[in-house]
Amino acid sequence: MEATLAEHVPAFLDDMARVARLRPHTLRAYRYELTAAAIALTSPLDQLTLAELEHWASRGAVSPSTVARRTATLSRFFTWAVRHQLCTAHPLATREPARRRQRLPRPIESSTDRTALEKAIAAAPQPYQLLFTLLRETGMRAGEVLALTLGDVSLAAGREGLRVRDPKNGTERIVVLGPTATPRSLRMLRTQIKALAGQPTHVPLVRSPRGTRVSYDALHYQWRRVCDRAQLVDADGAPRYTLHQLRHTRGSELVEQGQPMEIVQRVLGHRDPRSTQGYAALHDDQVRAALEQGRR
């Protein structure tokens, strides 16, 4: 019997978890998309065509980013399937890559809203207060913060930092901490490290009230409560800002401070400098001021 998508999705996901060590939310996204694809794409893998896969990826009234996500998921599956000799051809290998529009970051521009969020974060229960504070002060990604272990924290004077071992772009980095740049994070980290004294270095830096690693769902639930406490929700009770906008806000603040793009890139962990340039594009007032200074 020829191999089909449905029968090999579990093995693919298992390999992605054990060998590729993908993050939990990435695995959930792969599982969701491939389970849906397996219902519609029932032909043997070697009989699936590029046209069929593209038609499935673009079904419904969806955004280009959704099409790109579905296509990337299928492409990774077929790369794996060819490597394991489940099919002889990769139908998406000849696909013309779509040109992606570079989107500008979306920082929280209102200083009043920033202050309201910071007060609400300070009132959040632990360990969420620490998690949100790290996100706010460092600009780290949510997945990077949730993956931190005790051994990833260094609080030696003058060398304070967090080691990010499983970043989105695959390149490890040190997130630099400091008494001026990240004062609240340092204070809470010192308290947390004392509470974990004697624990193995591989234990999670923070745990849920049940003693397990904090999940994305729990983090986003608590974020909704923070936004509600700050009165930053829409008419339906949904947060006006996303967790990821804390990262955008930190990057924007660094540009406002006049930090060089190389420093902003290093702080945010961008492998491609074009991602960092998006933050500079937000600050037309700085460009205008520089031009006016030149004229004078």
Are 31 and 161 part of one and the same domain? no
* 44 phi and psi angles, rounded to 5 deg: -55, 150
pLDDT of 148 higher than 90: yes
Q: Residue 168 — pLDDT band, cuts 50, 70, 90?
A: low
CA proximity to 56, closest of 92, 19, 9? 92
Is there a single domain that holds both residue 44 and residue 123?
no
Report d(CA 257, CA 178) in Å as an integer: 16
Q: 71 and 144: one domain?
A: no
Q: In this predicted model, what pLDDT tens digit does every residue of 15-48 receive, in sequence order?
A: 998 888 887 878 888 999 999 999 999 999 999 9
In terms of domains, do 172 and 236 share one?
A: yes
- CA distances to 24, 210, 292 from 144, in Å: 12, 21, 41
Q: What is the CATH number of the domain that holds 139?
A: 1.10.443.10
Residue 212 falls within a domain, yes or no?
Answer: yes
Q: How far apart are CA 121 and CA 128, in angstroms?
A: 8
Domain match, 138 and 275 both: yes
Give the tens place of pLDDT for each residue, 121-134: 999 999 999 999 99
Does 97 reside within a domain?
no
Q: Are residues 256 and 196 in the same domain?
A: yes
Number of domain units in the chain: 2
Q: Is 261 inside any structural domain?
A: yes
Whether the Cβ atoms of residue 278 and residue 261 lie closer than 8 Å to each other: no
**pLDDT computed for residue 47 by the predictor:** 93
Q: Do residue 260 and residue 191 come from a single domain?
A: yes
**Do 188 and 46 belong to one domain?**
no
One-letter amino acid for residue 57 of the chain: A
Could you tell me if residue 295 is inside a domain?
no
Nearest to 45 by CA among 5, 1, 92: 5
Residue from 53, 55, 57 nearest 70 by CA:
57
The pLDDT score that the predictor gives to residue 26 is 86
Which domain, by its residues, includes 242? 111-284
| pLDDT, tens only, 264-276 | 889 888 887 877 8
Average per-residue pLDDT for the chain: 88
Q: Do 128 and 274 belong together in one domain? A: yes
Same domain, 142 and 269: yes
